[in-house]
Structure 1
Amino acid sequence: MSRRRLPELTHHGDRLPAQEERERVDMLDGRVGVEERACRGLLDGRLGASVFLVRSPGVVDGRGELVACTPEACSRWVRAAAEYVIVVNDVSAELEAAHRRAASVPWWRYVAAQRAFRDWKTIARRYEEVTREAAEAYEPVAREIGRALAEMVEIAAQERARQQDETRRHRSVLAARAFWGWSEVTEAGRRAVYVFRHDVPRDDAPEGAAPEESPHVDLRGLRRAIVDLDLPDVRWDGAALAETERELAGIGFGRWWRDLFHEDFRTFTAPPPARGSSSGRSSPSGGTATGGTGGFSGGFSCGGGF
């Protein structure tokens, strides 16, 4: 038998992870870990039916998901996966062994080579039949788990949307709160506007500031007032920015200001490019570079309206 007649297997030793039928699977809040693994055919290399390995939460690797199920469904999923994995792994090992035997017979041992090749073809047909039947038997459970996964994805998407709506409402309410104030000051011969919050103790008010004389305005009113003053520098109180970022819970003050007004809160101009910009200093959270330092932010330019 010429070895050219013996097709190569697409891969070797690629076994599905074991899923023991009696494996203990603990549930957490009515959920188990589910990890999808695809079977790749040894003869054609194509991806076949997937098997969903069921594990205790925390055992699955980065590809796993938590899925809600009942204890009865969990047992049924584990049992079906165990049966599928055992059948596929066993027949794959049988096919690989037959392939090795057929490939090892010298071509000049014609009778032995022909017998080994016939055995190989028989087992190859058996491999295709067994893997197909195993996939068909497992398909109802695979569909059930697939629906559970899709439901989990939908629930997660709904929760993300709910959280985003809640975040937007919270930030809208925060922007509408009239606790901002400002005061004109002069420092080192330069005129500036000092911005603070009436409800937050000021930690770095410059000399000459008169916070008690400032009205209480919301964020849009604050911006309008700063633009109308048309002063060269803006000084943000560090404590005010820090408290605002704490209340924003997730983004920096600078990002919040850009989202609302499409400009940098330090210069009131369009923000610099996201990368490659070396102008200005920013805090890790993106928003309190000049607050609390005792200095002024330079290059202030009044923007347009809202």
Structure 2
Amino acid sequence: MPPKAWCFIPTNGSSKDEVNQRIVRQTAMREYRRSERLARARKYAEMQAEKGQRHAGTSERLESDRRNREVFTPEPFAPSHEIFLAIGRGFGSIDPFGSTVLPHRKDASILFSHFVSEIAPKLQPAVSKMNNNIINSIFARTALADPGLLATILFHAGVHSDSLYGRPWSQSTLHYRGETIRILNDRLQSSEEAISDSSVAMVGFLAASGNITGDVAADQLHTIALKRMISLRGGLSSLGWEGALAMLISVSVSFIERLLPWLTDSQWRSYQCNDPRLSAPVGGS
């Protein structure tokens, strides 16, 4: 604010000189209007401050409500959230530090949760309780440390999910099928991994796709290869994972053979697998 402009009033000794009176009157009016403007400005500032306080209180309440809503609104695609959901469904553990091989893709956690909650309960005896589901407690936990087996699970879950919604295979399903075949082909080149528990399980899930789609003939090669792999291992009783793998294979093969009654044992025997490690006669060890 500029300082007051002082001015001298010329006088010749007469206090009622007309010129002097006009100067005094103008100066007094300017001062009055200035004081009036300052008073209005102060009043406006006080009103704005009061409105600001009311608005701040409302904003704080809105912000508090928003934070409260966030507490009870989980992120639907966070892997930690999906795995945490699996705890109450019988999975029995969490992975807070991201030490698993679960892909950092939005669809990975969704498909894994779908397997745990929707598919795994159907792969064991009906009398089993969810809390005692060895498919979840042993097999699913093992899969979280095995990239190939996990890719196979996600592919199988994708096929199942697509079938439920009556849609063709999604991009996610095709992606994990490609990953499964790529990893499995690499393992078949290794004498140690060719007929390992993980490889047997991967082929088993590929063969079981027909259980969902109804087109078991399309997976016939996988089914025959699975039986030969089990034969090379010495039978179902020789498979690992505390019986979980044998249970999976038994359920899968029983469905397949029910859908393909024409697939006789002689046809199993006559099939020649391209991989020499899987071409031993059925019934051998």
Structure with greater proportional strand content: 1
Q: Which has the higher helix share?
A: 2
**TM-score > 0.5 by shorter chain:** no
**TM-score bracket for the superposition, by shorter chain length:** under 0.3
